[in-house]
Structure 1
Amino acid sequence: MTRKIVRDLVAQRVLLVEDGNHGEYRPRPGEFVDVGVPFIRAADMSSGTIDFDGAGKINAIARDRIRKGIGKPGDVILSHKGTVGRVAIAPMDSPDFVCSPQTTFWRSLDPTVLDQRYLRYAMRSPSFMRQLEVLKGQTDMAPYVSLTDQRSIELELPPIVTQQVVAEVLGALDDKIAVNERLCSLADQLCAAQVQKASVMGVRRQLRDVLTLHYGKALPASERTPGDVVVYGSGGITGMHSRPLVNRPGVIVGRKGTVGAIYWASGPHFPIDTTYYVEPREVATDEILYYLLRSAPLAELNSDSAVPGLNRDEAYACQVNLPEKDSLETLSRNLRQRFSWMKLVHEEMKALAVTRDELLPLMMSGNVRVREAEKIVEGVV
């Protein structure tokens, strides 16, 4: 295994590493629009993908002024400020986009030396992440890895044929994960459309009539553990504990920070103190409330205090269209079946990701032969 310093690869024009514009070229607050060019931040990256739809958008004036950080399909994006170490790849059908100063794109300029698909896995490898971990701790401020520091990192570069094989084998797992994500997204959209259709002729009710909002509780970081929480829709995560606060699936509402964000926890969970958790009244189920709340204007109810928050009484006063009683039972049953299916698909995605992450260092080190890796992938894809 050959190790190459990134700055040498940059000097040899094998690799381009570039972050977003700073200073006068950076987009101004008034240049963010509803429809425009995605401006990618660390928050727009998760599970190895980029949320182009949810990202902030800049207008044509800002886009024309920017000279750095202009992304291309296939680029590997690294978050290097604040949230350090998220790695995502821009798909080949990605729109025109720009990297914020929080993110850096990495792009192979010579495919005979560095395979672009392999680059995403090299940047997820334990060796790469260990180097990032050391570099981000060099400042007393928020975690940060400068462009100069990024170029000091060493990449593991096997022969190009090996790179291509690693990318092909691990890419099969990522492709399956991406398919599952699209299927879950479509299922979620279908559920939302069914609830909306059933609500058109529904009864207008205040939220206080259909649910109770309970405060989450503080959970020290030392007590938080990875848990089986699958989140649909607007995303997010809650703290987990060996003794969950809520012993069933349910809806969580952002109370501070991500005010009004709606989360679905697929199993027992521990909503932390920046959230509310929802207890349905008899008139509606958790699944129906999840979609009704997503259409409620809760995010607009920020308090005027220094730390924005969602006041419970103001939330209770919000109104939603509750489907008629005759349709509630059938609708609830359909939603529950789809949620059970989505949970199974998410569990499969987790298993695929674990297999990929375990194979990555083994393949890069040569401890697992190509044919062995292919058999492992064939068994789970």
Structure 2
Amino acid sequence: MLFTPLPLAENLEFRNGKSSPERIDNGEFFVYGSNGIIGKSNKNNSSKNTIIIGRVGSYCGSLYYSKRPCWVTDNAIICKSKNNDDRFWYYALLNLNLSRLSSGSGQPLINQSVLQKTVCKTPPFEDRQKIASILGSLDDKIDLNRRTNETLEAMARALFRDWFVDFGPTQAKMAGEAPYLAPELWELFPDRLDDEGKPEGWELRRLHDILEFNYGKSLPTQKRIKGEIPVYGSGGVTGLHNEALVTTPTIIVGRKGTVGALYWENRTCFPIDTVFYVTSKLPLSYCFYLLETLGLENMNTDAAVPGLNRDNAYRLEVFYPPAVLIHSFANIVENWRNKIITNESESRTLAQLRDLLLPKLMSGEISIREAEKIVEDAA
């Protein structure tokens, strides 16, 4: 490939976003800030295929790509190609590591003039299209896996709510409605509610009878050793380490900071001291979707630093079904969870491949044909 060093202004246009519009949960367009999607709105200020660049703050230089029209707020920059090859330029900007262009010690900032003058090794238009197609195909598959997993999660969540929160099968029996589950499942549900409003034969238990919240362990950033073990804080994965604290699948629960945040982790992991990790004799799937219904995020006990008190959570009362129903639910959901695990693993592999190919394609270290062959072999 032939590369020509050119300032970004030769191919790209930049303009600042605008203050955030009114956000609504069911809005048509995503709203982007410097840290990515921050909500939805019925208004947009940029067309499809927009590159969003974090303009100010700790996310200065961060990059996002929106295939659909969107709203970009005033702490980010809207970037558009002059030649309708926006996706290539998204990858080219990723490769440039824009955060290095920021200025200001207190509040990092990137301005348009710096971006316009930044030089990028630029291949011909046809090669730009091919590079975008190669890298984009990997991101498209990652996005498909994400959306598939969201659907599977929603199915599991809906099934749990129907069986264990709304008591759908029992309510249907009481109303004389036709069965909507397999006969062997349908017969497991009683045909009436007791005086407490729960299905007859179910128990009222406290959360500490069902699962245990275990404290994570302190692991400062400077003590982490490069490895493949995800390190969990209350905001999710915060880094990697070479040693695991938990070696079996678990649920991570935010304790300090993002109170009540829930993460399912099938790999070995290291939960730090801002989270709990869950152990139980019951199926993990039942525990996870039960915890989602308890409103743990609203149980902050500390105004200064949000915190979840374990003893308060343990005292929560839940309607407890017979074990056969719990295991029947887990058997159904396990198939969906296995598909989610497979998709997550594939997406991690595809992301690693994309990150490997990106600098090699942008420097000409490998040819387009070589990259196409690598992606074909990985498919």
Deviation at 1:240, TM superposition (A): 4.2
Structure 2, unmatched stretches of 5+, are: 168-201
Task: Indicate whether 1:56 and 2:58 are aligned.
Answer: no
In 2, Cα distance between equivalents of 1:185 and 1:294: 15
Partner of 1:118: 88
| 1:135 partner letter | L
Taking structure 1 as reference, are residues 141 and 369 closer, same or farther at Cα in structure 2, changes over 3 Å only? same
Partner of 1:169: 134
CA-to-aligned-CA distance 1:281-340 (integer Å, 9 cap, x gap):
x3x322211111122211112234212222223322334444432211222233334323
Report matched runs for 1:232-311 at 5 Å. Answer: 236-280=236-280, 282=281, 284-311=282-309
CA-to-aligned-CA distance 1:124-144 (integer Å, 9 cap, x gap):
21xx11xx34323x3222444
Note if contact 1:229-1:265 (Cα within 8 Å) is conserved in structure 2. no
Task: Indicate whether 1:87 and 2:63 are aligned.
Answer: yes
Partner of 1:227: 228
In 2, Cα distance between equivalents of 1:99 and 1:206: 46
Partner of 1:71: 46
Note if contact 1:256-1:310 (Cα within 8 Å) is conserved in structure 2. yes
Note if contact 1:228-1:266 (Cα within 8 Å) is conserved in structure 2. no
Report matched runs for 1:296-375 at 5 Å. Answer: 296-375=294-373
CA-to-aligned-CA distance 1:231-277 (integer Å, 9 cap, x gap):
9xx98215543332212110011122211111111111111121111
- 2:16 alignment partner, one of 12, 16, 19: 19
Note if contact 1:4-1:154 (Cα within 8 Å) is conserved in structure 2. yes
Deviation at 1:226, TM superposition (A): 5.0
Q: Report the 3-state secondary structure (helix = DSSP H, G, I; strand = E; otherwise coil) of the residue aligned with 1:151.
A: helix
In 2, Cα distance between equivalents of 1:341 and 1:228: 21
| 1:40 partner letter | Y
Note if contact 1:41-1:99 (Cα within 8 Å) is conserved in structure 2. yes
Partner of 1:3: 5
CA-to-aligned-CA distance 1:144-179 (integer Å, 9 cap, x gap):
433443334323321101101111122222222222
In 1, Cα distance between equivalents of 2:231 and 2:47: 31
Tell me the matched-pair count: 338
TM-score (norm: length of structure 1): 0.79
Note if contact 2:203-2:320 (Cα within 8 Å) is conserved in structure 1. yes
Note if contact 1:74-1:90 (Cα within 8 Å) is conserved in structure 2. yes
Taking structure 1 as reference, are residues 240 and 359 closer, same or farther at Cα in structure 2, changes over 3 Å only? closer
Taking structure 1 as reference, are residues 239 and 230 closer, same or farther at Cα in structure 2, changes over 3 Å only? closer
Taking structure 1 as reference, are residues 347 and 27 closer, same or farther at Cα in structure 2, changes over 3 Å only? closer
Taking structure 1 as reference, are residues 198 and 324 closer, same or farther at Cα in structure 2, changes over 3 Å only? farther
| 1:70 partner letter | N
Deviation at 1:107, TM superposition (A): 0.9
CA RMSD of superposed structures (Å): 2.8
In 2, Cα distance between equivalents of 1:239 and 1:157: 33
In 2, Cα distance between equivalents of 1:332 and 1:3: 57
Taking structure 1 as reference, are residues 192 and 315 closer, same or farther at Cα in structure 2, changes over 3 Å only? same
In 2, Cα distance between equivalents of 1:315 and 1:18: 48
Q: Report the 3-state secondary structure (helix = DSSP H, G, I; strand = E; otherwise coil) of the residue aligned with 1:278.
A: strand
